[in-house]
Chains A and B, each alone.
Chain A
Amino acid sequence: MTAPRTVIVTGGSRGLGQGIVQHFLDAGDRVATCARSETDAVRAWQADPAYADRFLFRKADMADREQSTAFVKDVLAEWRSVDVLVNNAGVARDGILALFSDEDSDTVIDLNLKATIHLTKQVVRNMLAHGGGRIVNISSITGLTGYRGLTVYGATKAALDGFTRALAREVGSRKITVNSIASGYLRTEMSHGLDDAQLNQIVRRTPAGRLGEPDDIARAVAFLVDERNDWITGHVLVVDGGLTA
């Protein structure tokens, strides 16, 4: 796995995903990402000559299996194999379960879990054919501790951690590592249904004294996908400023 590696980051157009994409581009890797809409960040990457032939974007809804399959096929047509997969795409819907709509449950489970499993299946087949790879699933501390109002979201993230452990056992002998990062609360999650009072309370309880930044997570991703780190697999790495310590 020598540079430039081919990297897929799902949901890389904004927020945490944007930070992860930028980190890999800065490292000289080829990066493919997808999202339901094009953002200023995507347009800037596409226009930047420094990323010519190193950045690929497809407008796609990962919860739609046909679109997800087409995205992976496009990446393979362009670069033949995938070295690193970062399953970042996700959605949060907040609300007390007793009042939670079935539609919201389906939305969260379809994208966070079913779409991740479908895309990973495609990519892991390519990694099996090409002799190895690195997979990182972005989960959440809400999957470890639970959080009032994020029951379904937390359930999908806990499930992702279980998926990580099982897949790590399944493909570990084929030089494929699979790990999770249980992310703490990021500044970008202001849009994930947490209000200012909740965020201020989180900051007060966080030993590091601040919310996380995308780059805090991107650096942890870079560590887990480093080709030298082939003895770390099936692990859930908590990156949360010490909140759950």
Chain B
Amino acid sequence: MNEIETRIVTIVTELLARSDRPELTVSLDAALHGEDGLGLDSLETAELSAILEDELGTDPFGAGLLPETVGDIVAFYADATAASA
């Protein structure tokens, strides 16, 4: 995994640990919501949005996007990096 992928996976893993779900494995294709995925509820999604903004200065939810997977979040930052290059 590259640097941004590692960072996003770490953030989501730490969020799940805070939510008493440390046993879940976070991969890029993991769905953020639903029983078959990481199962984030609306408040956990808000937390994730706030943590991403706090650590990275911006976040896909605040930008009006609705990422469905961990990879979608990574793509948001990859796109932003490519656009600013």
Interface, chain A (partner B; CB < 8 A): 125-126, 128-131, 170-171, 173-174
CB of B43 within 8 A of CB of A125, answer: no
Let me know if B68 is at the binding interface, CB within 8 A: no
Say whether B47 contacts A129, CB under 8 Å.
yes
Partner of B54, one of A129, A170, A173, A174: A129
User: Within 8 Å CB of B54, what residues of A?
Assistant: 125-126, 129-130
User: How many Å lie between the Cα of A130 and that of B53 in the bound state?
Assistant: 12
Q: Provide the residues of chain B in CB contact with A173, threshold 8 Å.
A: 43
- Complex CA–CA separation, A237 to B76 (angstroms): 44
Q: CB-CB contacts of B51-67 with A at 8 A, as 1s and 0s?
A: 10110000000000000
Interface residues of B (CB under 8 A from A): 18, 43, 46-47, 49-51, 53-54
CB distance from B7 to the nearest CB of A (A): 15
Please indicate the chain A residues that have their CB under 8 angstroms from the CB of B50 in the complex: 125-126, 128-129
Please measure, in the bound complex, the distance between the C-alpha atom of A131 and the C-alpha atom of B54, giving whole angstroms: 12
Q: Which residue of chain A has its CB nearest to the CB of B47?
A: A128
Given contacts A126-B54, A129-B54, contact A174 B49 (CB under 8 A): no
Report 13 cross-chain contacts, Cβ distance below 8 Å, ordered by A residue: A125-B49, A125-B50, A125-B54, A126-B50, A128-B47, A129-B50, A129-B51, A129-B53, A129-B54, A130-B54, A170-B43, A173-B43, A174-B47
Tell me, rounded to whole Å, the shortest Cβ–Cβ distance linking B52 to chain A.
9
Chain A residues with CB below 8 A from B49, complex form? 125
Q: Which residues of B contact A126 (CB under 8 A)?
A: 50, 54
What is the bound-complex CA distance between A131 and B18, given in angstroms?
9
**Residue numbers in B under 8 Å from A174 (CB-CB):** 43, 47
* Complex Cα gap A55–B14 (Å): 33
| Chain B residues within an 8 Å CB radius of A128 | 46-47, 50-51
Q: B48 to nearest A CB, angstroms?
A: 9
Q: In the complex, A174 Cα to B42 Cα: how many Å?
A: 13
Residue numbers in B under 8 Å from A171 (CB-CB): 43
Within the assembled complex, what's the spacing in Å between the Cα atoms of A129 and B54?
7
A174–B44 Cα gap in the complex (Å)?
10
Rounded to whole angstroms, the CA-CA distance of A159 and B11 in the bound complex is: 36
Instruction: Name B54's closest neighbour in chain A (CB-CB).
Output: A129
Residues of A within 8 A of B53 (CB): 125, 129
